[in-house]
Structure 1
């Protein structure tokens, strides 16, 4: 998993054309459920429902990254924003060297407690323009609401129990798991896991908020990109996620249009990229104002130190 190399030119020719034609998320417009490539219950040739990030001769030191976002109604046009800014994200990750051999799985989550058809979708890890294709296959169900929360914890459970990476297994290096959302979590049940992941019984003894958070952070650096909107403020989502992952892993995003730059800068900074170089790159690609907004979002990273060059 993860062969090939992402190309800005291919993105511009294929995904860019779709964006200009208003044809993004074409699958979602005609679908009634998760695409088989993103269905977490689908088994591979070995009879396993797993996602894998593997090293190869082409990518010998893979960096696994999961980008997951809330696709419920409260998020509005955020998923489409992610797609339109994908070129910026990968140009920074790949062309600027923010991450070594990045391999990316795209994911979407909803509300498994609300009777949704596809409250969890996750692709395989890819290194090339199949990432764009996978994002375009996400089913934007757009439901949720009424119970003060969503089930991002279902994605975290899956990452803890059904994702295997050479980065961790061979080198002891955690991957980056990025959650883009606004609402806090609602509790998972055995039935939700059975219905939407396919596990007869949970593979974790403790599926409470805290139990899943402990399990997933053994293998992943979990970053919460919290959209600053009415739902987040009403539910005190920042405090909820801070209790689970710590203040330096919860980033408040003022402007959804800066999500791609925020993700790239976050990964670059935590992977050891110089903060001044990141600031220069963001100013060049998106302008000084975006660089400053990203800097404010990252201000709590590293126990509050953050990349001060961006602020």
Structure 2
């Protein structure tokens, strides 16, 4: 997973997967995230592919990354390969080094990961169908204001003439990816949400807890791709696959700002909930869209 000297990571169509969609999941593995990276790597992300297919994402190809701090960590950036099977994805997760360090100054090298994706990935979804891939990056800190050319050369091997502002890196990334920053709980959002919304707009997902990560991120793809018409439909689909009602409700809360921005918030939800039988899913989420 060492990115030094890597030319490209590829997401390609195949006979079995003719409409591939490149999806990257980047884990912040620094100390401030506590036990969350291990929880995600061991329990949540191995089922990410199933949740995506449950949400009708046809041919997802998933690449896992691990992100640290290039000013202090031994492995500030780790990059896997795009895979289409749960077994191979689980292998890359097993190889992730959860270093648990970081610089302790409220910033991590997120922009280094963004640079790698902007410059060292190729995806048939973009080349053949003009469809951008997706990036979901978990974290609870700020990016550095700029990406050091010295760090890029040291970690990745590219030689740049100058440092790059983080805004420049994001702008380049957005040509090929729809990037999301995923904040794992409400306490951590206070430290970093504003800066990430300045960079990514509505594509910041603030969860109640890390146990919802698969449902929130897969739901974001389904909403953006138009695979569900609104949150009501997404909730029904997750209910039909056996997702616990409590997790559906908290996942829908995390997705509400994005759904509203996309015009897919499902305003009929309250009226339907009012007529639902007691104890049903809709009763559980009936207040979800109230102002």
Please state which band the TM-score falls in when normalised by the shorter chain: 0.7 to 0.9
Deviation at 1:80, TM superposition (A): 2.2
Deviation at 1:306, TM superposition (A): 4.7
Report the counterpart of residue 221 of structure 1 in structure 2: 178
> In structure 1, what is the Cα distance between the partners aligned to 2:95 and 2:172?
29
Report the counterpart of residue 207 of structure 2 in structure 1: 253
Equivalent of 2:73 in 116, 128, 139: 116
Structure 1 unaligned regions, length at least 5: 1-37, 44-48
Residues 97 and 300 of structure 1: CA distance in aligned 2, closer, same or farther (over 3 Å): closer
Equivalent of 1:63 in 5, 21, 26: 21
Structure 2 unaligned regions, length at least 5: 270-284
> In structure 1, what is the Cα distance between the partners aligned to 2:245 and 2:256?
16
Report the counterpart of residue 156 of structure 1 in structure 2: 114
The aligned runs of 1:1-311 (5 Å cut-off) are: 38-43=1-6, 49-83=7-41, 84-94=43-53, 96-113=54-71, 115-128=72-85, 129-186=87-144, 187-201=146-160, 207-228=164-185, 230=187, 232-233=189-190, 235=191, 237-246=192-201, 248-274=202-228, 275=230, 276-284=232-240, 285-302=242-259, 303=261, 305-308=263-266, 311=288
CA contact (8 A) 1:283 1:290 kept: no
**What is the RMSD of the two structures over their aligned residues, measured on CA atoms?**
1.9
Report the counterpart of residue 7 of structure 1 in structure 2: none
Residues 126 and 304 of structure 1: CA distance in aligned 2, closer, same or farther (over 3 Å): closer
Structure 1 SS opposite 2:227: coil
TM-score, normalised relative to structure 1:
0.79
Deviation at 1:280, TM superposition (A): 1.9
Structure 2 SS opposite 1:81: helix
Structure 1 SS opposite 2:147: coil
What count of residue pairs does the alignment treat as equivalent?
Answer: 262
